[in-house]
Amino acid sequence: MKGRHLKLMRLLNRQQLLTARELAEACGVSLRTIQRDVLELEANGYPIYSERGAEGGYRVLPNRLLPPLALREQEAITLFLMLDWVGQIPDLPFGPLRGDLAEWYLHELPPDLEAKMDRLKGRVRFARPDTPPSPLTRDVLRLLEAEVKGEITYRTTSGRRTILMDPIGLTFERNRWYLLAQTDRGLRQYRVDRMEQVLPTTISSEQLTFEEAERQVKSGEQVTIRLEMTSLGERLLEGILPLNAQRTWSVPVTELPFLGRQLFGLGENVKVLEPSTLKEEILKQARDLLVSYDA
């Protein structure tokens, strides 16, 4: 496929009506050339719709089926293997792709390449995701698309909680679906399989991206927190700090008093290794609690 054809497809994929002259100017070719390119794309199955008249132009059809990509053999094999793995992840929020997309893609390829990849399927294996059912990923995605804040009913170790949050995005980590969101307690991460309900509100979202949320957290003076925890402690920590394999976080210094109260409530299941200021904060709370009982 010509590089100009790829540029033309990207222009048309913007879902707006473009005249032949606008396309020709964007691609740096004549009107006759762009009209010929459009005809070639249509002949190859690209779903272009043309509108005649002074206000007419070209656009692609909504909910279209796209033609196969122009890939080299090794690229086609790599893409198939990745699609095959993605198809094993349960509750993808983008529709019923599980087990279908890779096979559909495979059968659209030339017979010789299809046979080759059919043989390779039994020779390459990714770790199968051990993901608990997370049916509300679709509801979370709709919330992101609606660009509003939401209320989630969340199942914790101490019971159900209703949380008002501003969704930032879905992540798939350690074979689990998580929602990263901004709350009145700061940036928090929630497991989607522990959500029982997701409801939209009429409050507009700030529409933060992952990168913007991370920059926001890192603004101002930061301190590094390192924790040691039991498996129960790891679960209790959800909704307080976004989980990570290193069990190390960088948080604003101003959050330490509030974070200390939260960690103190987790008891012996979560132990602060550093910083010393956070350990002192928790020891102070323990002493104050003992004093209140002595009184």
Q: Position 138: which residue type?
A: R
User: Is the pTM here over 0.75, yes or no?
Assistant: no
Per-residue pLDDT band at 18 (split at 50, 70, 90): confident
Of 6-15, 99-108, 117-126, where does mean pLDDT reach its minimum?
99-108
Q: What is the pLDDT of residue 194?
A: 94
Q: Do you know the residue count of the chain?
A: 295
Q: What is the pLDDT of residue 170?
A: 94
Q: What is the pLDDT of residue 195?
A: 96
For residue 140, pLDDT over 90 is answered with yes
Which among 163, 157, 121, 119 is positioned nearest to 140, based on CA atoms?
Answer: 163
Q: What is the pLDDT of residue 253?
A: 84
Q: Name the percent of the chain lying above pLDDT 90.
A: 28
Q: How far apart are CA 40 and CA 231, in angstroms?
A: 59
Q: Name the percent of the chain lying above pLDDT 70.
A: 93
What radius of gyration, in Å, describes the C-alpha atoms of the chain? 26
Q: What is the pLDDT of residue 67?
A: 60
Encoded tokens for 173 = 């980590």
Which among 283, 291, 245, 248 is positioned nearest to 263, based on CA atoms?
Answer: 283
pLDDT tens digit sequence for 150-182: 999 999 877 899 999 999 999 998 889 999 999
Encoded tokens for 230 = 């039991």
pLDDT tens digit sequence for 200-233: 999 999 999 988 888 877 777 889 999 999 988 8
- CATH number for the 3-60 domain, one of 3.40.50.720, 1.10.10.10, 3.30.1600.10, 1.10.645.10? 1.10.10.10
If one compares 185 and 229, the residue with the highest pLDDT of the two is: 229
Q: What is the pLDDT of residue 191?
A: 92
Contact 202, 148 (CB under 8 A): yes
Average pLDDT over the chain, rounded to an integer: 85
Could you tell me which residues come within 8 angstroms of residue 226 by beta carbon, excluding any fewer than 6 positions away? 247, 248, 272, 273, 274
Neighbour-count burial for 57-80, b at 16+ CB within 10 Å, e otherwise: bbbbeeeeeeeeeeeeeeebbeeb
Q: How far apart are CA 285 and CA 267, in angstroms?
A: 12
What are the strands of the beta sheet with 270-274, ordered from one edge?
248-252, 222-229, 270-274
Q: What is the pLDDT of residue 206?
A: 94
Q: Domain extents for the chain?
A: 3-60, 73-121, 132-218, 220-295
Per-residue pLDDT band at 97 (split at 50, 70, 90): low
If one compares 184 and 1, the residue with the highest pLDDT of the two is: 184
Q: What is the pLDDT of residue 111?
A: 82
pLDDT tens digit sequence for 27-81: 889 989 988 988 888 887 778 878 776 667 888 876 656 666 667 888 888 888 8
Handedness of CA 40, 46, 51, 55 (dihedral sign): negative
CATH class given for the domain over 132-218: mainly beta
Alpha carbon separation from 210 to 170, 198, 214, 278 (Å, rounded): 10, 20, 6, 27
